[in-house]
Structure formats: C-alpha cells, structure tokens
Structure 1
Amino acid sequence: MRLSKTLTAMAVASVLLGGCQATAQQSAANDPVVVQQNLPEVNISYESFTLDNGLRVVVHEDRKAPIVAVNVWYGVGSKDEPEGKSGFAHLFEHLMFNGTENYDDEYFGPFERAGATDMNGTTNSDRTNYFQNVPTPALDMALWMESDRMGHLLGAVTQEKLDEQRGVVQNEKRQGEAQPYGRVFGYLAEQTFPEGHPYSWSVIGSMEDLNAASLEDVHQWFNDYYGTANAVVVLAGDIDVETAKDKMNKYFGHIDAGKPLKKMKSWVAKREGEKRATMEDNVPAARLYKLWNTAEMGTADSEYLSMLVDILASGKNSRLYQRLVYDEQIASMVSGFQYERQLAGQFFIIADAKPGVDMDQIEAVIDEELAKIIAEGPTAEELARTKFSNAAGFVRGAERIGGFGGKSDILAAGTVYHDDPGFYKKSWDIIENAQPADVQAAAERWLSDGAFVLNVVPQPQYTTAEPQADRSQLPEVGELPQLDLPELTTFTLSNGLEVALAERHDVPTVQMRLVIDSGYAADFGNKVGTASYTMSMLREGTTSRDSLELSKELESLGTNLYASASLDNSTVSMDSLVTNLEPSLEIMADVLMNPAFSEEEIERKRGLWLENIKKEKAQPTAMAYRVLPKLVFGDDHAYSVPLTGSGTEASIQSLTREDLVAHADTWLRPDISRLVIVGATTEAEIKPLLEEYLGQWQAPAVAAPAKQFTDVQPQQEARVFLIDQPGTPQSTIIAGHLAPQDGVDNEIAIDVMNTILGGSFTSRLNMNLREDKGWSYGARSSWFAADEAGMILASAPVQTDKTKESIQEILKEFNGYMGDNPATADELEKVIANKTAKLPGAYETKSSLLSSIVDTLEKGKGMEWLESYGSRVRTLELDNVQQTADDVLRPDALTWVIIGDLSQIEDDVRALDLGTVTKLDSNGNEI
C-alpha cells in the first residue's frame, strides 16, 4: 500500500486490526465470482499540537517496547532549490550530521552510545527527514540533539566541514552513477519535465552546482528552510502527549519560526505526443523505460494508478511478467511503479531484454497490454488481489514505530504532504472502494498519450519562548531497561522435526523459518549453484500447483513464502496472517514435499539466472565477492564459491533436473532441520497444524548427509588481484584474509574489535576515508563468520584518482590498530554502550527476533544466552580487544581485489609493492 511511499535521494526507492469476514462480490458479467476478504481495519492513534513558534508535533503512544521513534521532517526538498543550486537540500542533510554550536562532534556518537537504531537522514524531491529510534531514557538526549541542530547549527558549519561533506556527496554521486543504469533517472528528470520545473533535476544535483556551493549559500539555505514553522516532529512509541508537550517546549520552544515561504501545490506537466531517446551506458542488458507524467500524490487517480501498475507490471502474477518473462520469454525482468510526489506523479514501466531480443518487440507487448487494460479495465480478481496483498504489506510495516514505512513515517508524511497526520485513512478509503472502472478510467486519462520512451496562506505571527534547555551540556541518558525476550517453547513433531516457538501477539501474524543444514557449501564436489537453484525452484510449482497458481494463491492470502540458500544453510521462510495460517501452512508443506521441478520452469529460470550472474559481474562489489572466496580459501574448499551463491555460467548451463532432484532428495529432510516460529500463536494452536501438514515429511532411510570440509591454510603473504572496468569513475577495493569461524569463545571480542576498526559509521576506516578525506561514500570492515571458517573483510569504493592513497590509508588503519594506535578506552566504551543500549529495541519486529533466535539455536545456545548478551559485552576489557586484534588481524597477508579503470590505477597500485600482482577477468580467471 502506497500510503507513505517516498523516494530517497538515490533510490527510485497502535494498529487495530478488524475481523476478516469472507464476502462474495459479483464481478462484471463475464468474470467469475470473486471471494474477497475485507481489508484489515487500520487505525494509528495519534494526538497533535503546535508550539507557539509554529512547530507541529504528532504523538503516537505504543508501549510494547521501551523505545521512542523520533522522526523530524522539514518541508524542503530538491524541488525548492533555485537555478544553479541543485543538490543543496541533500548536501545540507549531510551537514546536519557534522556537529552543532553546543555539540561540535559527529552526530552519531551519543546515539551509538545510547543504542539508537533505525537512525539516518534522507532527502527527496519534497522533504528532508532525520530519524532515530532510542531507548526511552535516551529521549531527552535525542530531543536535545535534534533541537540543537534545528536552532543552533550555523556557528558550527565551517568551510572545512562544507568542503568535507561536498566531497562525500560527490562520491555518493559517483558511486550511484558507477552502477549499471546509474545515470538514467537524472536524465529522465531532465527529459520528462519542462525546463525550470522543480522535478527537472535530480535530488543529488550536478557536480558543477555542488562545486559552486559557498558557505554563504549554505547558511542562507538553513535560514530559509529550517525554521520551526516548516518542520514536523513525530514521537511514536513509549511516550504520551503530556510528556511530549513538556519535552518539546523545553527543547524546541525557543527556536525561531523562520521566514514565510511560498510553496507550489501542483504542476503535473502532462505531456502530449511521444518522445524517445537512446542512452549508451556500461550495462549488462538492454533496458526499456516507458513513463508518463500523471496525477500528483494524494489524488484518487494517483492511488488508482498505483494499483494499476501492480496489476500490470509488479510481480509474477502481473500481466506483463506473464507475457514478457513467463510466456514469450523475451525479457528477463519487468517492473513498474507509480512515482508519487507532491507536484506531479510519474507512471513507470521498466523491462530488461534478453540477449538478442529487439526492444521494439518488448514495447509492442507493453503497448498491447496497456491498450487492453484501457479498453477493458482490470478484472475484479486482479484488483482484489492487489488490494489485499498491499494491505498485508501495510499492516506489516505498521508493526514498527520508526524507520521507513513505520508508524512515525506514516504520520509525518501525512502532516508534511497533506497537513493531516491521518491522511493515510483517505488513501486507504480510496483503495478499499476502488472499482475496476475507476482504475480503467484513470488509465485512459493518463496513459493514452504523452509517453516518454528511453528509454503555496499568510504566515501567522509566531512568538518564541524563553530558552528552557541547558545548552551547555548534553543531557545524560538515564538507566536503560533490561532486555526481556519471550520464552522459547520447544517440542518435536512425530517425524523428528525440532520446533522452537516464541510467542509475540502484537499484530496477528506468524513468521516461521525452516533451517536445513545444507546451504551452498553442500555443493562441494558437485555443480556450484545447485543448492541455490534447487531452493529457488521450490517456489516454481508443485505437483498440484503450477508456478503462477502458487504465486496467485499466496498473494490472495497475503502470505510471503520464500525458499533460499546461504553459505551454511538452506531455508524455507513463511510470513502469514493468523487468519490464513492453515491454508498457508498447507502451501508451505506442498512446496517442501512436492516440488515439481518442471523442465519448462527450469529452463525459464535458467535464462533469468544467467542474466543475473551477468549483472553480478557488472556490479563491482558483487563481482569482488564472486572472486574473493576462491582466492582466500583455495580451489579445494566448500567455501571457495561465489558468495552470492549463484554459481557460474558453466555450472548453471550444465544443471539438469536430475541434479536438482538429487539435491532435494539428499538434503531436504527433517532430521537435519529445525523450524523456528515467532508470532501470534501458541503451542496448543500450532502443533496440531504442524503435525497435519509437516508430519508427513519423513527422512529417507539412508544416513543423514554431512557437508565436507577440507583444511585451509592462512595465506602467508599479501597478494593483489586487479580486474579492469574501463571508464568507471570509482575503484572498488576489497581486502580480506582468513579469520575464526562463527561461535568461537571470543566472538564478542572479535565483533567489538571489528566494530572499532570498520563496523560502524564512526569506525576508523569510515571516519578516515569518508569523513576526513572525502574520498569514499563509505568504507567498512566486517567479520564474515561461517560455520567452519571466517574472513576479515575491508571494503571501500573510492574515487579513481585516490585509489593508491586509499589503499595506503586502509593499511595504515590495520597496522596502527596493531601498533602505535591501539583501541582506546573511549572507543571501547562507545561500542559497548551502543551494543547494549540498543538491545531493548532490537527485537521490535518478529523478523528481527526470529533471525536472532535462529542464530542462537544454530550456535547450540538458548534464550538465556541471547538475553545475557549485554552483560557479556559489558565485561569485555580493553586488553581483550587489543589481544584479539593482535591475534586476528594480519595486514601483511591481505588478499586485495581491486576493480577499476586499470589504465588509470594499475601503475599506482603496482608502485605500492604490496605483493604479487595478478590481473583477472570478471570470472576470476587469470589473464
């Protein structure tokens, strides 16, 4: 449901549930009777008030977890930028994280110590927002920090900080444009809106405008748009309105309202006639973009078009997927979306052509299906299905108080975009009451012409209060609540399948994950990619349901069902509404026990799979993670496979039905599996259902299989592997070496050691390469911990002309950690504070709790061990961390994979004399 859909700068990116009663509706004369369950009744309770200075505040009380979402939205986005200053809104968002007059340090620091989660800032065409979830005792700190940058920022915005963040944003732009299709949306903005239209430039702006941004310009931007009268603060979670009023007046009441603003309300710029363009780019497949300028956000037509695009181009059951990908097999991907913005909308259809397919052939099918839906409208069944599927998604999103799509986001969007926190109800009513004829009429109004193929009320007199908050120091975070997780009930089914259940009755959904001890490490000695391919085929039909029938049933139930493989495990996961749990379980059991492995579906998937491998090899980071494992683990190891799990072109080309059946018969068995469940059910309710539907799943008579692992010796010398990507504006640097496996006794020390080095925003690597140097949009390190072995990995996409220097800085951080710059007490205290303070809110959603329980049980531990994590972290001492760094880090034996334009970087890399230099192709083969 698109009740809070917003797109960020770089992406085209208490809830009450009423009873569901089946009703029968008669569709059009030629359609069958459609049995449709009523959409859930949704009510996000809230109270709102406005401070004397014009600051609007919305409060939603939700006491299920001791956390509060703080969501601050400013009514300014890239559409408000004057000519020659594109990118200002987004650049200023970055500057808001670099300290204030009263706290001149990195913004993330106090929040990391307090255990904040879901913390970020984003900019789109229409608004800028800043948000974080904090433990309740940290609310004063969070409000002090947010109000300090709203009212006390400019004295800390220096030329040095402007230059630093300008570099970071420009690297973000380079990184985005270095991706396949990364230049498309900036071009489409220019071509589909008239010159001067606020949507005719990209959110991130142009390099020229960013370079031209002066300190005076930036200060003026803050004075123009960051007043209280142009802001909304939503507080959701463990908070009531009286407490909110006291705290908001204390921290925000003294801040100026800001200047009166003129705001445009609508400029659709509907097009006439067709316009076409061709763009050349370094992409793995030809892609068609077809779009129309349409009704603005909040209108009925925008909602109708959102439903239409689902029916036409979203998901396996959409008309265009069935025509282009499934039946005619001329496209490897088709998608679509209604891009909802305040002044205008845009309706997108996107398709990737298979090799050798003429784009005209694909466009002809799109035009044919569009003409058909304009002439006849969607069927009642199609409309009902997309309504229910989207409603289920909205309910799941509203489980969270913060983050993208959470309740604070929904309320903030309604307030900023429509001056109504509860505007989502109006959208909900439009969607619920929509009829096929409504959607058909909207399609005819907006999509019959004008395709592009590529592919402002006088301001009240506000007053300000005398300052109340002490600005000389940051408020202390109070005593944090203890982690209290649900009890874990365990039982065994008659077939030996172990089941673990954690009850969580906040919203009526049940999530479960069947974990099988296989994964693509089980491919060792066989064709790589078999495990992933086999698991993906489970969703492609059973002996009684074909692929489309299966997908349609799940969509109608509002159920998510996935099957996949990771390195050490294969999983079947399901997320169901309680009302539809039994039919969903029946489908899950059918998928698990009766996969069809249809030759037709195998071949259809093979082409898409090979296209995906091609795309992985075109994306630098994915390419590196395909190549690196073999270099670290050697040829003869179960982990020396692409970490994407997709295999190679040769192995996938050679896969047969017999290979898939053999893998399923060997590895899909209950005696090497565990089912973990989190949700609104009890053992008494769920056990009989599991017996009925999964009890028949029996282990074969043969002994259970086990994965085969060989010894692997650590690399003794550093090595460098270069992969050429001509013309790319960035180099991608990945470096790694062997490390301990998951579950070792000192795993917490390794994790904390890595967090200081590169595992958080304020880590050494990121602060060096992003914040200090401005050479990268983000640099990180990670401990990749698998069952039998692990890797320490460092990664940084950097601007091409700083490749050599970036490598030197990475090595400096590694060597310094082990030498003259060891971990400090302050660094350790900050990491411990972060990792413990965020625990109470870490398990707000069922999915996060489910993942943690699965991981805990895989380590052979119980809930007491999981709950004691905080106390175990707090006992960690500085000597432990430093000794762990000395034991684990081996900078002199790093294996480097560097992907970039070798004509510009190869000589510099060789001059570093890190070790033997070898050039590889995109498959990892030596050249």
Structure 2
Amino acid sequence: MRIGTCSSLAALATALLLTTTAPALARADDAALKSPAQGAAPAPASPEQLVAKVDIPYETFQLANGLTTIVHTDRKAPIVGVTLYYKVGSKNEPRGHTGFAHLYEHLFFSGSANVPNFDIPLEAAGSTPSNGSTWFDRTNYVETVPTGALDLALFVESDRMGYLLPAVTQDRLDQQRGVVQNEKRQGDNQPYGLTEYALNDGLLPVGHPYRHTTIGSMADLDAATLTDVRQWFTDHYGPNNVVLVLSGDIDATTARAKVEKWFGQIPRGPAIAPVTAGPVTLAKPVSRDMTDQVPMLRLTRAWTGPGLNDPDTAALEIGMHVLGGLASSRLDNALVRGQQLAVGVTASDEPYEQLSMLSMAMMVKPGVDRTKAETAFDGVLTRYLKEGPSADELQRAVVSTLSREIGALERVGGFAGKGATLAEGMVYSNDPAHYKKRLEEMAALTPEKVRTVMNKWLSRPVFKLAVVPGERTEDGGSMGGWGDEASHPAPAPDPKAPAPALAPAPKRAEPALAPIGALQFPTIEHARLSNGVEVTLARRTAVPKLQLAIDFDAGTSADTLDTPGTQALMLDMLDEGTTTRNATQIAEAQERLGAEIETGARTDTSSVTLVALSDNLAPSLALMADVLLHPAFAPGEVARVKASRQAQLAQALSSPNSLAQRTLTTALFGTHPYAQPSDGLGNAAALAALTPADLKAAHDKWLRPDLARITVVGDVSMEQLKPMLEKAFAGWTNPASPAPVKHLDAPTPAAAARILLVDRPNSPQSVIMAGRVLPMDGTAQGNEALDLANDVLGGGFLSRLNADIREDKGWSYGVYSGVTENEGPRALIVRAPVQADRTGDSIKAILADMAALPASKPVSAEELQRVTEGAIRGLPNQFETNAALEGAIARNARLKRPENYYETLASTYRGIDARTIGAAARTYLQPGGLTFVVVGDRKVVEAQLKDLGLPVEVMPAPASGGPGADEQE
C-alpha cells in the first residue's frame, strides 16, 4: 500500500493505549439516557430501524472478457469513485515469492505503455485520492475524480490493466523494491512492530496461505526478477479477475458505454486457481515471549476463526466487540477500571475471505505482577464464555457497529466508502449487497447465539504472545516470509537471464477532460444561543447522521498558562464520570444511541465533538452537555487516567516518529506556547503533579461560553437544532472572571542550522524531521502562494522531495513537507523516514532539493498546473464527509478567513503564476537555518553526518518515559 500496510494487529499498541472505559454496573433501566434535570429522552432507534437505513442501490453488468462492473448512482456532488478489486493477494504467493503481490501493486503505479506516470494525469485532473493497497485476499486501486475526468480515469486504469508490461523495466523494479523494503523497515521500526510476524507464525503452519505477511521477507523481495514480475501480471491481472465499481455522479447506461470503450478490447486472462486456506486449530496451547524496545508488557491471546461468509462470523464480530471493542467492554470494565491492572485492552475479530484472526490484548500497567495480570486477563474470558453477553451489551454492540456503517456511506469511493463496500461483497461473497445480509444477521443475534459461537471458537487451544520490555533480539528483516527458508531456500535468480520479449501495445490517446463542475459549498446558517455562543450549521441530508463540534480557544498552547499536559488530561476526564453518571454509564449511553463523544486538544483549540444519528440527536445532545458541564474529576478516576496518560507518554517516547516530533517542537519554539508537545502529554514530572483540583480549575478557566463556538454539519435543520441546543445547555453561562488570553505573540528562538541526533539503538530506519519557524502568523491573509510552493516542494506524492528520495532513489517510503496552519507563528516542517545507511545522503538531498526551488529549478508548467488547476478540480472531493466540512468551516473561523474562502479559492489559485510560487519558495522554503532532528542508531548514523557542515548534538533516547526521561525537551 502506498500510504501504509493494512494491519489492525500492527496498530494494536496505539489502540490499546487510547482505550479506557468504566467498571461494569448492573443496569436494566434507561437512566443513562436522561439528562439530570430533563427526564426521559425519546427512545433511541432500534437495530432493525438502523439496518433499514443502510442501503446502496446498484446495477451490474459484465463484459465479454469477464470484467464485472457495478454502478451506484449518488448525485450529491459532481464526483465519481472508481474502485477496482483484483482477486489476488498475498495468499496467492508461492514459496520464495512472499511480498510479491504488494511489490507488484507498487509497480502498478509506475507507468504503462501509454501513460508514463499514472499519478500525474490523475492529480492534474483533480483526483483525490489515487492509491492502492494489498491484503491477503485482494489488491485494490481507488481514485475519486470529478465527473468530467471519469473517461481519463478509465483510460488510465484500462491501460495499466491491459498494457502495463512494456513499461515494467529492471530500473523500475529495483526502485520500487527499495521503496517496499523501506515500508517494511518503517513498520518494523515501531514499538511492537514485530507482533504480526509472531502471531502469524504461532497460529498457522508453514505453507498456510495466510501465514506469511503481506509485506513479505527481505530475502524474497531481493530475489524478485523482471521475469517473475511480468509473469505475475500475466497470471493474475486479466479483466475476468477484476471487479470494477463506479459510484457517484454516474448511471448504469452511461457507465456501460464507457467501460466497454476503455476495457472491452483487453483479452481475458487465466482464471486464478482456488486457494485452500481455512482456520487451523492448534494441537495444544502455545506460548511465546518476545523482547522488544517497548515501554510496557503487552499480552495477546489469539486464535484463527472462520471466514467472512461463515454463519458464525456475525456472532463472533459482535461477541468480540462486547469482549474488548466497546468503550464499556468486559475487558475494560474488569482490567482497566475494575482491578486497574491494565492501561489499555482490546479484542476483535478480523475476518478475511477464508479465515479470521481472533485476538484479545492487554497492555499491562507498569509495576503490576505479570502472573497476576495473566490470571486476571484469562479470567475475564473464562467468565465471559460461561455467561455470554447480556441483552443490553448485545444491543449496544450492534447499534454502535451499525452507526459506524452508516457513517462510512458518506464517501462514494476510497478504501472504505460505497464503492469498496460493493466491491468486497462481490469479490468475497459473489453478492454486492452482502453488507446488508451481514448487518441483518447482527441485528437478529441473541445472547445465547453469541455465547454458543464464542465458546465454539475461543475454547480451542490458544496462542499466547507476550511482548516484554528489553532489548530487541529479533530482526524484522528476516521475518514475514514462508517460514522454512533455512531448509527450503528460494532458488537464486539468474541475473543474466533475459526477460521474455513483449508484444507491442496499441497506441492509445489520453482523452480530453470534460467540463468539471465548480465547488458547491453548502449554505451556511448562523444563530446565537442565549448564552452568547455562536452556532454555525451546514445542512446535509446524504446520510442520517451529523457532526457537532464545540471548539474552545485553548488547546495544548494553553498549557503555557497552566501545567504541561493539563489541557488534554482535563479533556480526557470529561467522559470519565459526571456528577450523575460514572464512566460506564456514559459509555453505555453512547453505545445505545449509536453516538460518539470525543474530546481532544489541538495546538490552538480544545474540542468536544459529537457524532450522532439524526434520529437520536436530542438524547445524544443531553449526554454531551452532561459530559461537558458536569465532570466529576473523581480522585480515583483521575489517578487511573493519569496512569494511562503516563503510559501513553512512555509509548510516545519509545516511538521514533513521536520522539522526533516532540524534540523538534521544543527546539523550534523554546518557551513560546507552541513549544508544548502537540500530543498533549506534557512531561512525566508535570503529569505526576496534576491534581483533581488542577483539572477542575482548568475546566472552569477554559471551557466557558465566551471561548466557545459550535459548528454542525449533517442531517438537521436550524429550526430543529437551536431549541435542542438551548435545552441541552440551559444554565451554561460565563463566570465572573475575565477570559484567559494566550500570548501567541511571544518570541521564538532564532533559527539555528544544526542536527540533533537522538540515539535509538537497533533502529533499521532513521526518522528525519527538520523545521524552521516562519515570520508570519496563520491569521495573515494572502499566503496561498506559499501553500502552493510547499505543494511543489513536498506537499504530496508527486512533490520534489518524494519524487527524489522515494521514487528516484528508493531510500524512503515517503518524504513530505508542510507549513503549519496555527493561529500564531507558522512553521515549515519536513519529515523523512529513511533507511539507516542513507541518513546523511538523505539530508544532503533534502538540502539540495530545497535550494534548487526556484534558483536552479524553477516551477515547471506541469507543476503549476498540478498545484493550481489540479487542486481546483479536486475541491469538490475534499468536503465529501460531514467531518471534513465541519473542519473546514471551523478552520475558516479560527484563521479569521472569510466564510466563502473555499468558494473563492479557485479564482485565487488561478491568479498565482509560477513566478509568484517561486518567489514564495525563495522567501520561506530555503534550507538555511533548518534544525534537523534525527532519531536513529548512533553507531550507524553519526559518521554519515560529519561532512554535512552542520553542528551535531547527540542525546540519548528516553529509556522508559519515567521522570527525567524527556530531558532533551
């Protein structure tokens, strides 16, 4: 995948650290849906009512060559999602070719007979996104394009489906091989980054198609030859092995003519041989310990289960959700809040076509005895298998799942929108509407059915994995392959063997773009509540949901006036108990309503956000108001959440990406409010000192009406909304004290060209971050030329930095630059995770690429078109979801932009020429004064930095995140 490999197991550590809930309470009434002084709220929608709202009408047809096309019409915007699923994934790879499907996916973007680079015409036409991914069962490619660019998208996709091979050369193979190997290093370099390898090895025997990881082994990637690549295309990429979905501003009649025109002449390919890959029952329980450079012990229990078409799968998905997916899950209630043995827990069923991965995991609280933790962990499962879920747990799990499914239908394309939903149904189940069958099965579940199925699959022998803090002793580079390479090595490729000759491809002309519609921003309405809070509404009725955000002028920068970490911890505590509800009741109420209340601190703002079903808005608002206005800050809960935040801090200080960002932020901003770590975690000493009284004081100081604004996007009218808000927030008034003021005009340190090397031993990759504070504030208007200059330099996949270091040199999985959009001083940031032995060379390349713009390499006509007209054409795609539109409206208000900013952006861009972009780059994007932070292995890296002409300061990486561990900040 060009943005990251798809693995929920690889992301488990983050999920664990962010998951905290409340102890179990026996409750059969609906008190959790009542506001303290408002009485009973309307009954929430039932699972059956919610299922009825999930619908994606479609038509389907098939060409003579076997290409199956599905069409869904959605005229909400002039865009079309183009989604292709090839029925081939890593499970189809033979011994010696692990990682091959994914490597080929990367090659698929490198050009075909008539399209030298697929991203250039698609981005120029306004495609967002244009990407691909590989998983066990399939390889997919997605782009969402303006309706007028649909012919272009189909031309590009058909040319690489039918005529790719003439463009696949040895140079391109070698270059993309390097990119993929750096993607593997990037994943392996993370804390707990070797977990997926260990789980697959422990659960499945050598030779099982799901055993080796999609990323594969370094040895197999090294062994891939040009002949192998071309044969893989011939064997697997015929139109008869593809499902194409067109969703959005298109109808079946129009689609059939276009698909026949562009794909009809491609010959049918061979059928893909079926793969036998069912679940495996271990002969006996198996345990494995793995030491790693991690801050705390993580315990995992895992089994394989049935595939996604099995009649037991719906019960397993919901059953595992009750066990460890709900905010009020069994594991959370017992281990995080009850016995307080864990700082995070999770459980899930990850279904594939022919089997599933069932897992539960526990991040053990530092200082807790391992035996005690394991006994309690296993005890929760034992009790759950005996009892099964309650009727209330089951309904909450089903409603929260259905609510997320409804939200996903906002998008017509992408990796999780309507197009992917229909495609996966066809590819895995031969039924585009399989999603509806799955949801209906969930809605019909009974507690006894779930209990029976959970016992059937989780009473079998278990694989136990413990990731133990210590020195990493295993090498991810040698993991992920077939598993018996020592006894069955892959045959060595013959470097002299010529690749087979290729027949010439037909010449095909790129179609012209049809007229592309302009951005139609929704009408924005305003109102003001009786307490003075301004309300902004953009009504959308595409899905029966809405997003409501209350943003306060605070954020992590407010910690300068308090204690580091105060703002985020205070916000974390809002849903951990109010004066009338404990955290379990809050979580359960959200799950019954299909609502999500989230809190968080960005640099400039603190937010409380509600995502709600329109039918359940009134009780959801009542719950949100209780969370915001009446937090309890109970001492016991504060102590527990502080321990969780300290664990998150330890995790951040063990992550090379987080460590680089925290180090650079402090170096750039010194004592300015923006020097506060953007993760909101502060430092260990400050976190330890915070008291419930401190948090209550911060709540009263910052979460007040005169610092708030409310933005709402979704299926509600102002006539409905305002009375609900007035009722929910009755009595919320400003305190007598004046509102606090952040000093964003405080000075920042002078720019200093230097390298800060953070020594992190055993790192297969170095994380490079560089930055400089710019002489401008985010509220200054008229800086669009700078934004466009950054797009040329490092703002996207086709940018100069990424094209050089990733695409040309193959040293990185992705290099990017950005200019922050804070209210106060903006900063230029460059990020480059690179293979360790190319750290110094990569810094040289960054410096050279920046200096060349525009001095020796002015903005080209192609670059100008891409960052102006291409961006203009892509504007309708950017605001497809309620969340995206809400963010844009709030951003305009925060940065003091006019309300019609995005509607006038097209004309602004068209008024900016290459010379103006070059001038902005010359003024703001030059390499002078950049501070570089390098997080990597000093033994490998330091010698590479000697001849860069920059002073180097070496500092150790934090050991554990305890007191004093982040002294480099």
> Which category describes the TM-score, using the shorter chain as reference length?
over 0.9
61, 64, 79: which one aligns with 2:91: 79
Q: Which residue of 2 aligns with 1:123?
A: 134
Scaled by the length of structure 1, what TM-score is found?
Answer: 0.94
User: Of residues 500, 515, 520 in structure 2, which corresponds to 1:484?
Assistant: 520
**What secondary structure, in the 3-state scheme, does the structure 1 residue paired with 2:144 have?**
strand
Whole-angstrom CA distance in 1 between matches of 2:277 and 2:821: 52
CA distance in 1, matches of 2:541, 2:327: 31
Higher relative CO (Cα under 8 Å, sequence separation at least 6) belongs to 2
**Superposed displacement of residue 363, structure 1:** 2.7
1:828 corresponds in structure 2 to 864
**1:797 lines up with 2:833 in the alignment:** yes
Residue 435 (structure 1) aligns with:
446
In structure 2, C-alpha distance between the alignment counterparts of 1:782 and 1:618, rounded to whole Å: 24
What displacement does 1:867 show? 1.0
Contact persistence 1:521–1:638 (CA under 8 A): yes
Q: Which residue, 346, 361, 380 being the options, matches 1:335?
A: 346
SS of residue paired to 2:674 = coil
What does 1:835-850 correspond to in 2, within 5 Å? 835-850=871-886
- Residue in structure 2 matched with residue 733 of structure 1 by the alignment: 768
- Residues of 2 paired with 1:531 and 1:33: CA distance? 34
**Could you tell me which residue of structure 1 aligns to residue 111 of structure 2?**
99
How far apart in 2 are the matches of 1:139 and 1:738? Answer: 41
Q: Whole-Å Cα distance in 2 between the matches of residues 200 and 104 of structure 1?
A: 36
- Preserved contact between residue 751 and residue 931 of structure 2 (Cα < 8 Å): no
Offset at 1:641?
A: 1.4
1:243 to 231, 249, 254: 254
Q: Deviations 1:390-439 (Å, cap 9, x if unpaired)?
A: 00110111121112321111110011111111111221221111111111
Partner of 1:198: 209
Equivalent residues of 1:101, 1:155 under 8 A apart: yes
Name the amino acid aligned to 2:722.
Answer: K
The alignment status of 1:758 with 2:794, answered yes or no, reads: yes
Q: Tell me which residue corresponds to 1:19.
A: none
Deviation track 1:715-735 (CA, whole Å, cap 9, x = no partner) reads 344111110000110111111
| 1:516-575 deviation line (CA, Å, top 9, x unaligned) | 111121111431111111111111111111111111101110111112111111111111
Please identify, of 814-823 and 278-287, the stretch whose mean Cα deviation from structure 2 is larger: 814-823
Pairing 1:358–2:400 present: no
Mapped contact 1:75–1:127 kept (Cα < 8 A) = yes
User: What is the rounded CA distance, in whole Å, between the counterparts of 1:317 and 1:723 in structure 2?
Assistant: 39
Whether 1:719 and 2:754 are equivalent positions in the alignment is yes
2:783 counterpart letter in structure 1: E
Does structure 2 conserve the Cα–Cα contact (< 8 Å) formed by 1:137 and 1:478?
yes
Q: Deviations over 1:164-198 (max 9, x none)?
A: 00000000001100111111112221221112110
Closer, same or farther in 2 for the Cα pair 1:926/1:704, shift >3 Å? Answer: closer
Cα distance in 2, alignment partners of residues 143 and 670 from structure 1: 51
Instruction: Indicate the residue corresponding to 1:165 in structure 2.
Output: 176
> 1:889 Cα shift?
2.4
Q: Identity of counterpart residues, as a percentage? A: 39
Assess if the C-alpha contact under 8 Å between 1:305 and 1:439 holds in 2.
yes
User: Is the aligned partner of 1:152 residue 2:160?
Assistant: no
Question: Separation in 2 of the partners of 1:302 and 1:671?
Answer: 50
CA distance change for structure 1 residues 625 and 504 in 2, over 3 Å: closer, same or farther? Answer: same
Please tell me whether the aligned partners of residues 152 and 510 of structure 2 are also in contact (alpha carbons under 8 angstroms).
Answer: yes
Residue 31 of structure 1 and its aligned partner are, at CA, apart by 9.2
State the alpha-carbon separation in 2 of the partners of residues 613 and 244 from structure 1.
51
What residue is the counterpart of 2:187 in the other structure? 176
Counterpart CA distance in 2 for 1:823 and 1:906 is 34
Letter in 1 for 2:685: A
Residue 744 of structure 2 is aligned to residue 709 of structure 1 = yes
Q: Equivalent of 2:677, from 626, 642, 654?
A: 642
Matched residue type, 2:642: R
User: CA contact under 8 A between 2:44 and 2:616: conserved in structure 1?
Assistant: no
1:35-54 to 2 correspondences below 5 Å:
37-39=45-47, 40=50, 41=52, 42-54=54-66
Give 1:282 deviation, angstroms: 1.5
Q: CA deviation at 1:127?
A: 0.3
Contact 1:292/1:348, CA 8 A, preserved across alignment: yes
Is the 8 Å Cα contact of residues 289 and 350 (structure 1) preserved in structure 2? yes
Length-normalised TM-score, structure 2: 0.90
Aligned position for 2:655: 619
Distance in 2 of aligned mates of 1:878 and 1:31: 65
Matched, 1:925 2:960: no
Partner of 1:287: 298
Q: Which of 797, 805, 812 is residue 769 of structure 1 equivalent to?
A: 805
TM-superposed deviation, 1:261: 2.5
Question: What are the equivalent positions in structure 2 for 1:301-312 lying under 5 Å apart?
Answer: 301-312=312-323
Is 1:59 equivalent to 2:77 in the alignment? no
The answer as to 2:309 corresponding to 1:298 is yes
Q: Give the letter for the 1:454 counterpart.
A: L
Structure 1 counterpart of 2:651, one-letter code:
K
Does structure 2 conserve the Cα–Cα contact (< 8 Å) formed by 1:714 and 1:737?
A: no
Aligned to 1:24: none
1:259 positional shift? 1.0
Question: 8 Å contact 1:269–1:293 — kept in the other structure?
Answer: yes
| Mapped contact 1:112–1:833 kept (Cα < 8 A) | no
Q: Which residue of 1 aligns with 2:580?
A: 544
- Cα distance 1:918–1:153, how it changes in 2: closer, same or farther (>3 A)? same
How many residues were matched structurally? 890
| Match of residue 713 from structure 2 | 678
1:290-349 deviations in Å (ceiling 9; x for gaps): 111211111121211111111111133000111111111111111111121122112101
What is residue 667 of structure 1 aligned with on the other side? 702
SS in 1 for 2:744: coil
Unaligned runs of 5+ in 2: 11-25, 31-42, 467-504, 959-964
Aligned mates of 1:188, 1:573 — CA distance in 2: 36
Structure 2 Cα separation of the partners of residues 659 and 716 of structure 1: 35
User: Which residue matches 1:691?
Assistant: 726
Q: After TM superposition, give the deviation of residue 714 of structure 1 in Å.
A: 5.6
Cα distance in 1 for residues equivalent to 2:734 and 2:44: 39
The match for 1:887 among 923, 928, 933 is 923
Alpha-carbon distance change, 682 to 9 in structure 1, aligned in 2, over 3 angstroms: closer
Tell me what 2:267 maps to: 256
Match of 2:606 among 570, 581, 591: 570
Q: Is contact 2:44-2:593 (8 Å) kept?
A: no
Q: Which residue of 1 aligns with 2:400?
A: 389
Task: Tell me the equivalent position of 2:497.
Answer: none
The code of the aligned residue for 2:351 comes to E
1:667 shift after superposition: 1.2
CA contact (8 A) 1:510 1:575 kept: yes
User: 1:507 offset after TM fit, Å?
Assistant: 1.6
Displacement of 1:221: 0.4
The yes-or-no answer on 1:902 pairing with 2:938 is yes
Secondary structure in 1 aligned to 2:814? coil
**2:668 counterpart SS class:** helix
CA deviation after TM superposition for structure 1 residue 145, in Å: 0.3
Q: Are 2:155 and 1:141 aligned?
A: no
User: In 2, distance between residues paired with 1:638 and 1:523?
Assistant: 7
- What CA RMSD, in Å, does the superposition of the two structures yield over aligned residues? 1.8
d(CA) in 2 for partners of 1:628, 1:395: 40
Shift of residue 10, structure 1, vs aligned partner: 4.7
Residue 466 of structure 1 aligns with which residue? Answer: none
For the 8 Å contact 2:772–2:930, the answer to whether it is kept is yes
Deviations 1:244-281 (A, max 9, x none): 11011100011121113321355222223201111122
Asked whether the equivalents of residues 31 and 379 of structure 1 are also in contact (C-alpha less than 8 Å), the reply is no
AA paired with 2:138?
Answer: R
Distance 1:801 1:925 in 2: 28
Is the CA contact (8 Å cut-off) linking 1:36 and 1:384 kept in structure 2? no
- Conserved? CA contact 1:910–1:917, under 8 Å: no
Stretch deviating more after TM superposition (835-844 or 214-223):
835-844
Q: By how many angstroms is 1:201 displaced?
A: 0.5
- Residues 920 and 753 of structure 1, relative CA distance in 2, 3 Å threshold: farther
- Alpha-carbon distance between aligned partners in 2 of 1:131 and 1:603, rounded to the nearest angstrom: 46
Q: Which amino acid aligns with 1:253?
A: G
Residue ranges of structure 1 left out of the alignment (5+ in a row): 1-6, 14-29, 456-468
Distance 1:8 1:342, change over 3 A: farther
